[in-house]
Amino acid sequence: GEDVEQSLFLSVREGDSSVINCTYTDSSSTYLYWYKQEPGAGLQLLTYIFSNMDMKQDQRLTVLLNKKDKHLSLRIADTQTGDSAIYFCAERNSGNTPLVFGKGTRLSVIA
Partner 1 sequence: NAGVTQTPKFQVLKTGQSMTLQCAQDMNHNSMYWYRQDPGMGLRLIYYSASEGTTDKGEVPNGYNVSRLNKREFSLRLESAAPSQTSVYFCASSEAWGGISNQPQHFGDGTRLSIL
Cα–Cα distance measured from residue 19 to residue 59, given in angstroms and rounded to the nearest whole number: 15
Concatenated DSSP letters for 17-85?
-EEEEEEE--TTEEEEEEEEE-TTS-EEEEEEEETT-SEEEETTEEEEEETTTTEEEEEESS--GGG-E
Given the complex with partner 1, which of 74 and 90 has the nearer CB atom? Answer: 90
Least separation in angstroms between residue 105's CB and partner 1 is 10
Sites for partner 1 among residues 26-55 (CB under 8 A):
30-31, 33, 35, 40-45, 48, 50
Least separation in angstroms between residue 67's CB and partner 1 is 15
Out of 85, 92, 107, 109, the only residue in the binding site for partner 1 (CB under 8 A) is 92
Q: What angle do CA 66, 28, 43 make, to 5 degrees?
A: 75
Determine, following the binding rule CB under 8 A, whether residue 103 of this chain makes contact with partner 1: yes
Least separation in angstroms between residue 24's CB and partner 1 is 13
Q: Which residues lie near partner 1 (CB under 8 A)?
A: 8, 30-31, 33, 35, 40-45, 48, 50, 88, 90, 92, 94-99, 101-104
